[in-house]
Each structure stands twice: as C-alpha cells, then as structure tokens.
Amino acid sequence: MNAPPVQYVTTRDGYNIAYTVSGHGPPLVFLPPGFNSVQLLWRHCPEWMHGLAQRFRLISYDARGEGLSTRGLPSDLSLADLQTDLEEIIEALHLQQVILYAHGMRGHFSVRYALSHAGRVKALIWNTAAISAAAWPSGLLRLLPSENWDLFLTSLARGRQDLVEDYRSSVTREDLSVFLKVLSSSTVESELPRLQVPLLVMHAVGFPTLRQEESMKVAAAVPDARFVPIGGSDVYGDASDGLATIDAFLNSLTNNDVTEGQEGGTSAGLSPREVEVLRLLAAGKSNAQIADELVISQNTVIRHVSNIFAKIGAANRAEAAAYATRNRLA
C-alpha cells in the first residue's frame, strides 16, 4: 500500500489541516508525532502504517505548522489552538467513536480530548509517554534548535541524511520554536486520575531520549491503565511487537465486556463480534455502515443482528440499543 492521497479540513480559525485515510475497520486517529508529514510517515515507518491500516480505518494528520498543513504559527499560539486540529478532524469525518494513538507529548491532546468528549473515545494508546513536558531533555528540544538548526536535525536523525532532509521539509525552525514554547508548559498531572477511558502505554526499551520510568508514571496515574515495554530503539518501537501489544489490549477490552456481562447475567452469551455489532447498532449505524466498519458482508451483519435480537430478547433496533445502554455495552 502506497501513501494515501492527502485531503484537507479547514479549521474554524482558518488553518488547512492535511489528513489521510486508509484501511477499514474501527476508526483509529494517529496523532502526529514530531516532525510529521502524513505521506513521509509511510516511508519512515512502513511496518507501523501498513499494520495499522490492516486493522483499522487509519486517519493520520499534520498539525498546523507542520507537514502539508498551513505553515506560519503565530507567537500567541495556545494549547487550545493545537487541540482544535484533532477536534475538527474527528468532527469533519463524522467519527462517532474512535481509538486515539499518540506518541510523545501529543498524548496530552488525546487525554484532554477524551476528558472533554465523554463517550467518543473507545481507547487510548500512548507510545513514549510523559506526564509533563519537563521530562523531555530541554537542551535537545528547546535550546539546540535555536542555536544550531543543522546540528539539531542531524542529531534527531542520528546522522541519516535522508531523514535530515525529510525533517527539514516537515517544519521550519520558527514554527518549531513557537510549538515547543507552547508545549513546554503542558502537563496532564491533574487530568490523568480523572481518565476513565482504557489506556495502553507502550515504551521502546532502547529509546534513549526519554526514560522508560516516565511512561510507567503515566500508567500508574490512570486507574486500570496498562504499561507494556516493547522492543526497539526509536520513538515508535518495534512494529511487530507494538502491533501485537495493541491487538492483545483491544481484544481484552472486548472479552472483558462479554465476561462481565455473563457474570452479571446481562450479556446473554453474546460473542465478542456480536458485542461489536451491538455497539455499532446502538450508535445508530446501518447494516451497510456496520459491514464497512467491521469489514464483513451485509449478510453477515444481518445474521449477527438476528442472533443478538434472539439472545437479548429485543424486538427491534431501538430495544437493542436500549439494552446496550443499560448494560454499558454502548
């Protein structure tokens, strides 16, 4: 699969935000890592992007000031402005419920979105996490770019000249300076204990820039969060290890829903797939939309819906949706 074509959303404050959509399945929004460009991602980490697109409807985007989005950040840029990009991508694509995947400090945006949009986020995946921006080395990220831009890019790319040029094309020194100034004050210390969305925290054991302990602190601050170290030495980590970890995490969420329902006498023996179908049905999805999201045929959806109605004693979709709400399956 080649890099998908670029599309645009215009924010309410006039920025054109570049995004791409690929794959099928439940929607996963891939928040932009540092020095991002939506098409270069497919060259820098193809195993990750192809793997995610095989599992999800994968949406990735460039934040304002980077990649193929509008450049030129104002000096009075705020964290709320950066949050707007994520919000408007989700709204423009009419995504009812999403999985959010973030790297590094962009995880702060995913946490804040989940807290301010109750019910819209199915799960959070945060790779290389830190409660505060202060955990990241200030010399590399905030001092060196202004003192020696070329040395900074070379250090970031670990000497790989192709990456140096890609990073140079992804953001200007001026925009990066504004972005880092805003982000340097960001912390989610007060927000994490209030987070009720399932959270998976991963950290590549060989990544030298941020200590693994910082990711562990994030997981410890969130009730029932999970921390899993994965292989690799860059910010993404090993793709096969990371994708397997994501699969296990999301499968456990579905299985837990069914198990809890059986113990409480509320699941009526629904299979994990039937629970997925019921959730989408309760969200108002048509059979065709459910088929598209789960990558199955409409005939299979019809069979699942019929089985669900029989198991839970529902006469129609409205009663099935009410059942899902009562039993916290929606």
Q: What is the CATH number of domain 268-326?
A: 1.10.10.10
Q: Is the pLDDT of residue 265 over 80?
A: no
Q: Tokens at residue 308, please?
A: 């669900």
Residue boundaries of the structural domains of the chain:
7-135+185-254, 268-326
Q: How far apart are CA 289 and CA 291, in angstroms?
A: 5
Q: Tens of pLDDT along 202-229?
A: 999 999 889 999 999 999 999 889 999 9
Q: Among 40-44, 156-160, 192-196, where is mean pLDDT lowest?
A: 156-160
Q: Which residue, chain included where needed, has tokens 């409205």?
A: 318
Task: Identify whether the C-beta of residue 179 lies closer than 8 Å to the C-beta of residue 65.
Answer: yes
**Any idea which of 9-23, 198-212, 309-323 has the lowest mean pLDDT?**
309-323
Residue 168: pLDDT band with limits 50, 70, 90: confident
Closest to 100 (Cα-Cα) out of 74, 121, 79, 130: 121
Q: What is the pLDDT of residues 83-141, one digit of tens each?
A: 999 999 999 999 989 999 999 999 999 999 999 998 899 999 999 999 999 998 765 55
Can you read off the two tokens belonging to residue 25? 């399945």
The pTM of this model reads 0.76
Burial class of residue 266, CB neighbours in 10 A (0-12, 13-18, 19+): middle
Measured distance CA(66)–CA(159) in Å, rounded: 22
- Domain pair 7-135+185-254 / 268-326, same fold: no
User: CATH for 7-135+185-254?
Assistant: 3.40.50.1820
Note the pLDDT of residue 102.
Answer: 97
Q: How many CB atoms lie within 10 A of CB 8?
A: 15
